[in-house]
Amino acid sequence: MNFKKIDIYYIVTLLFLLLSANANFLSSSDLWWFLILAFMCIVAIGKKLFRPKDFKVIGIFSLVYLVLVTLRDLFVNGLEPEFLLSEILYLVKFVYLSFIFCVILKEKAAAYIINVMTHLTVLSFFFYALQLIGLGDYIYKYSTALNLQAQGVIQGYTNFLVFTFTKGLHDYRNSGFVWEPGSFGCFLILALMLNLFLTNFRFDKKSNIFVIGIITTAATTDYLALLIVFFLAYRYKVPKLNFWAIALLLMSASVDIAFPLLGGKIKDTYYEDLDDLNRLKYLEVFYKHNNMAIPLNRFSSMIYIFNTFGYKLILGVTNKYNIIMNKAYNINISNGIFDFLAKFGLLGFVYLMYHYSKFCLTYVIKTEYLIYCILILLLIGFGEPVLILPVVLMFIFLQVKQVNLIDSSKIRKKAI
């Protein structure tokens, strides 16, 4: 085997995505996580990829982060010192992973994420096809035999790095390498956006693979995000607002309302969520008997977090806010935006959105298109707790090719 031909950047990207997936034995073990971090550091040092500016960026970020969470946890919220340890662990594991990944890949990060995501998605099609023809039990049997199951997951869950299968729950939906179908769809939406950025919003073979992958997840919020991606691509290619643009927008809204998986499901979910909040005592008895947390849905998660913490969501509560929240009921939250707000507050959310917007604006040029990009991230964040993952945190440190910055600046001036 010729090790000189091994693409180290591909390996780094694959490991980065597998840890970001938060679904496998690698991401569930601190030992594996730190070993991969150490490996990435060795790669960065060996290839002399660290620059003085990088140390300055991560140094300032770490200092400000530690000061803010210390003041918030110990003095504003009056928490015990052990909560501060979880904030430091998150900084080292999640933020530093994103930082080192961006240091190694630099402006090549988006292209490599697209390539690796393409391969992981094609792999998912193979296992998803086995599910559809009734061979899901065999996937479960042989994957569990590998003894690679992650910790803290629901009954019937199994993951073998490149694919996740939950017996009896997701028999007809594609979870890919992430923990469940909706979350896999979030990764695919991000990959699709990055690919459209690099192809000047041309739908190539990779874009089509991502679109098909999103369809196989059967996830409502991902479908809505996909519609906005389509509309963004159309508006980018046809900047002048015309009859067809308005017709496309109205047609998309009509589909949202008429299609049961979209409009109907959203409406039903909302009322079911309100009903769940009114019968938490009953649900607690049922799920406690089955050794499970109460699985609150998107809307009920949002309302429950807001009612529990209120104004504390401005600065956030703590990375381990569930310990405080679950003193009354054992709750499992599924709203990514309010999960992020509870952990890092509105202040942290605005900071993340600023860097994400700055990156997107390099490619989409106009403010209108940027609004679509923000809406897409808000949709997938509302649907799944992905905003806290390295695959989203990377936007804080992600770089683009200098030529793109120059070209975009010229085009932006013409557009104005």
- State residue 264's pLDDT score: 60
User: Quick one: which H or E segment has residue 166?
Assistant: strand 164-166
Neighbours of 248 (CB within 10 A): 17
Contacts of 401 (CB under 8 A, 6+ apart): 107
Task: Using alpha carbons, list the distances in angstroms from residue 46 to 42, 43, 92, 102, 151.
Answer: 6, 5, 21, 16, 34
- At 222, is the secondary structure helix, strand, or coil? helix
Please give the Cα distance from 226 to 219 (Å, whole number).
Answer: 10
- State residue 246's pLDDT score: 65
Using alpha carbons only, how large is the chain's radius of gyration in Å?
22
- State residue 414's pLDDT score: 38
- For 23, the token pair is 């679904």
pLDDT in tens, the chain (416 residues): 344 567 999 999 999 999 999 999 999 999 999 999 999 999 999 999 999 999 999 999 999 999 999 999 999 999 999 999 999 999 999 999 999 999 999 999 999 999 999 999 999 999 999 999 988 888 888 888 877 767 667 778 889 999 999 888 888 999 999 999 999 999 999 999 999 999 999 999 999 999 999 999 999 899 999 999 999 998 898 887 666 666 666 666 665 555 555 556 667 777 787 888 888 888 887 777 677 778 888 899 999 999 999 999 999 999 999 999 887 788 888 899 999 999 999 999 999 999 999 999 999 989 999 999 999 999 999 988 999 999 999 999 997 764 343 344 343 343 33
- State residue 409's pLDDT score: 39
List the Cα angle 78/82/84 in 5-degree steps: 70
Core vs surface per residue 85-101: b (16+ CB within 10 A) or e = ebbeebbebbbbbbbbb
- State residue 99's pLDDT score: 98
Helix, strand, coil shares of the chain as percentages rounded to 5?
A: 75, 0, 25
Residue position matching structure tokens 């996909």: 226
- State residue 407's pLDDT score: 42
- What is this structure's pTM? 0.91
